[in-house]
Structure 1
Amino acid sequence: MELRQLHYFMKVAQKEHVTQAAEELHVAQSAVSRQIHQLEQELGVDLFMQKGRNLQLTPVGHLFCKRVESLMKDLDKAVAEVHEFLDPERGEIRIGFPHSLGIHLIPTVVAEFRKRYPNVKFRFKQGMYPSLIRDVVSAEVDLAFISPFPEGHDQVEGDVVLTEEMYAILPPNHALAQEESITLDQLSADKFILFSKGYSLRPIVWQACLEAGFTPQIAFEGEETDTIRGLVAAGMGVSLLPEMAFFQSNPLQPARVRISEPRVTRTIGLIHRSDDKLPLVAQAFRNFLLNYFELMSINNKTPFGT
């Protein structure tokens, strides 16, 4: 069994068509067919069956495909690690993060890192809390910023790099809009605009309201900080957002008021797989980030310009 046979097999499985697979592989159709035939003869099974003009994996073909896919990922990772070992300043870092950190934090830290390592490449993947955990566990990304930090997870580990204050945001004409600070229970009669289920900020706000003695009444739900901010500014309700969400300037802005009680924060962590060694270039980025946030904390600064 040759690596080329496995490579051809995976391409045919992906395209479900020998001709299309051959075109992407830049080889003759007959070469692909021959390699697949030899692979099937060696295994003693049919990996594909005809379905109209296309090919479809047989049940045993599906089983074999999953194993080969895992093998190819391990092989790609091994090759990448060799390249990074030879020149760790030219590798690729795969990093995941939630949408709320992509507005300013991610561009800021990446730009700072690239001042030192200008040849390092980045591959970014946005996601919600559950998908970011899955991406780290399945090795889709090397590192992930995540909020809140997952305490006690048996497959990922990392560090809390930032604890961020949450603010109440109110329509500009709200009775409390000019206050320096409020207690959260002062908003118990207001309608809330929350993030949709699955977004990490939603349970933080929900739990804070329960701690303040009330269950929030939901007027609208959204999936981006811009949406939440805009709806509040338009007078559709109130909400809570982290400090980082106020970095952007927009003509339509809600009022921002500090919450004195209960204190509402979110933790932002940097995580990686607990049972795997990071590529050298990703480890260099992790070390840079831990040092970067430590210096920010020492100097009482925030990494997002406020």
Structure 2
Amino acid sequence: MELRQLQYFLKVAQKEHVTRAAEELHVAQSAVSRQIHQLEQELGVDLFMQKGRNLQLTPVGQLFCKKVESILKELEHSVNEVHEFLDPERGEIRIGFPHSLGTHLIPTIVADFRKYYPHVKFRFKQGSYPSLIKDVLSGEVDLTFISPFPENDEHVSGDIVMTEELFAILPQNHRLAGESEIRLEQLQKEKFVLFSQGYSLRPIVWQACLQAGFQPQIAFEGGETDTIRGLVAAGMGVSLLPEMAFYQTNPLQPAQVKVVEPAVTRTVGLIYRTDSKLPLVARSFRTFLISYFKARQNNTPVGS
């Protein structure tokens, strides 16, 4: 069975006529008829039956047509992927990231990157720490931002791109809301609004509270940065969030206070599967990101 036979078969099925199919394929009518005949002989079934001046798919022909459509679409997609893989200025970058980076950082980075590579497409996937690791290992994404950086995972490789400070967030009318800095132990009697199990910020906040000498009392749990921030602003408790989480336009805002004892930080890494070869466009994006965050640390423009 040849690819040409499948292409000719599908065109005849679409046009319901050999002559019209041949005209679109820019080949002789006899060539199309011959390929269809050879295909039917190989399969041992009739794929078409005559209906007036047109051809109509037989029941088995209809079944075969659906399979052929799927095969040819997948083949076309695979060919396009190969071309895009080899082109660093086009193609699609599949990238994952935690929710806390989605409000400001990801849109800013993508906008800056597309100034240099305007034809590149992006496919985004948000998730928790376990799901982001899973997406990298399964090949669902090429690269993913992740926090904390997985230091000893032999299945992924990557770089720490930044270390980010976490701030206490409090209702605006909280007794400590006007302070420039606080010790975490000052919140030990408060109710906390935390991320749900599986989100990387939860164990960071939990461990910081234990280090400060107490176990946090949980009032509410959520999976979105906006939810955590909104609940705190509404007076439902207190929490800790990275500075990156404060970029938004909702008028209901919690107070943001620096925590000095203990200092609470998180690492943010960019990882990819160790045993995979990144598409050229994804490699270009990774190189851009490393430069982007180095320039950010040094307060210099990207590309300078």
TM-score bucket (shorter structure): 0.7 to 0.9
Match of 2:218 in 1: 218
Q: Distance in 1 between matches of 2:2 and 2:95?
A: 33
Distance in structure 2 (CA, Å) of the matches to 1:279 and 1:80: 9
The answer to whether residue 292 in structure 2 is matched with residue 292 in structure 1 is: yes
Q: Could you tell me how far 1:76 is from its partner in structure 2?
A: 6.0
Pair 1:186–1:34, CA change in 2 (3 A) = closer
Q: Which position in structure 1 is the counterpart of 2:244?
A: 244
Distance across 2 between alignment mates of 1:110 and 1:36: 38
2-structure distance, mates of 1:175, 1:2: 77
**Aligned: 1:113 with 2:113:** yes
Matching of residues 43-54 of structure 1 within 5 Å? none
**Identical-residue share of aligned pairs (%):** 66
The residue type equivalent to 1:30 in the other structure is V
* Distance in 2 separating the partners of 1:200 and 1:128: 7
Alignment correspondent of 2:60: 30
Aligned equivalents of 2:270, 2:129: Cα separation in 1: 12
CA distance in 1, matches of 2:91, 2:272: 17
- Matched-pair contact (CA < 8 Å) for 1:161–1:268: yes
Within 5 A, what are the aligned runs for 1:47-196?
A: 80-85=81-86, 87-196=87-196
Shift of 1:300: 7.8
Offset at 1:32?
Answer: 5.3
Q: Provide the C-alpha distance between the structure 2 equivalents of 1:77 and 1:180, rounded to a whole number of angstroms.
A: 56
Distance 1:34-1:189 versus aligned 2 partners, 3 A rule: closer
Q: Determine helix, strand or coil for the equivalent of 2:276.
A: coil
Deviation per residue, 1:62-104 (Å, 9 max, x gap): xxxxxx9xxx79x96675234432x321111111111111111
- Contact persistence 2:167–2:240 (CA under 8 A): yes
> Residues 83 and 233 (structure 1 numbering): CA distance in 2 closer, same or farther, change over 3 Å?
closer
> C-alpha separation between the residues in 2 aligned to 1:77 and 1:165?
43
The offset of 1:249, in angstroms, is: 2.8
Query: Aligned in 2, Cα 1:77/1:272: closer, same or farther, shift over 3 Å?
Result: farther
Question: SS of 2:89's equivalent?
Answer: helix
What is the TM-score when the length of structure 1 is the normalising length? 0.74
Structure number, greater radius of gyration = 2
Deviation at 1:139, TM superposition (A): 0.6
Q: Letter of the aligned partner of 2:296 in structure 1? A: M
- The answer to whether the 8 Å contact 1:81/1:279 transfers is no
Aligned residues: 247
- The CA RMSD over aligned residues, in Å, is 2.7
Question: Runs of 5+ in structure 2 lacking a partner?
Answer: 11-55
SS in 1 for 2:237: coil
Query: Aligned partner of 1:84: which letter?
Result: F
**Pair 31,214 (structure 1): closer, same or farther in 2 beyond 3 Å:** same
Contact 1:193/1:237 (<8 A) preserved: yes
Q: Secondary structure at the match of 2:290?
A: helix
Tell me the secondary structure at the aligned position of residue 88 of structure 1.
coil
